[in-house]
Amino acid sequence: MTRNKAMSNAFETSVSILGDGWNLLILRAAFEGKTRFEDFKRTLGIAPTMLTKRLRFLTEVGVLTKERYNDRPPRDEYRITPAGLDLFPILTSIREWGLKHFGDNEPAEIMIDLATGKPIRTEFVDLNSGRAINMMRIGYITAQEDSYSEPEPACADEIAERVTAHAYAMYTQYQNANEEK
């Protein structure tokens, strides 16, 4: 399989998970501590057949695991896997975006660090400095074998050119969006 095909498949699988509203709501409920079929059904108001399909799919793609907790009658719990835990920042970003753009009638809620009680938010961070990065500075390159490795010095010019082009495109979109308001 070529790298582009693998990346395409990874993106398509991700969209099949995150592009389905029920999947997102089930994952949110799982992050809130729900583990049992009846809890998901009651919390979400989802039809049992739909819930069964979604839970089966989420276990097949490795986002949840299914563990038997009772043999008679057979009952299972659904637990978040490490792959599922990796979705937490995505769900948090979706929540923050929704509150910002559609949360007028909802009580103001902010995320906090439970250890300090201080407000926190989802953001992109430079792995070397730990500083937040403005979205205008974010671009993509083909990763080295280690996903977090530094790019080869020989491709620094290519990276600079691509980042500049990407930043200009993002800036143009940002300006156009603000002009429409």
Express each pLDDT in 126-161 by its tens digit.
888 888 888 787 877 776 655 555 545 445 555 555
Per-residue DSSP letter, 145: S
Q: What's the one-letter identity of residue 162? A: R
Tokens of 39: 């809890």
Tokens of 131: 């500083």
CA distances, 138 to each of 14, 21, 77, 88, 94 (Å): 20, 27, 39, 21, 19
d(CA 87, CA 97): 15
d(CA 84, CA 62): 7
Return the higher-pLDDT residue of 76 and 181: 76
Q: What is the pTM of this model?
A: 0.69
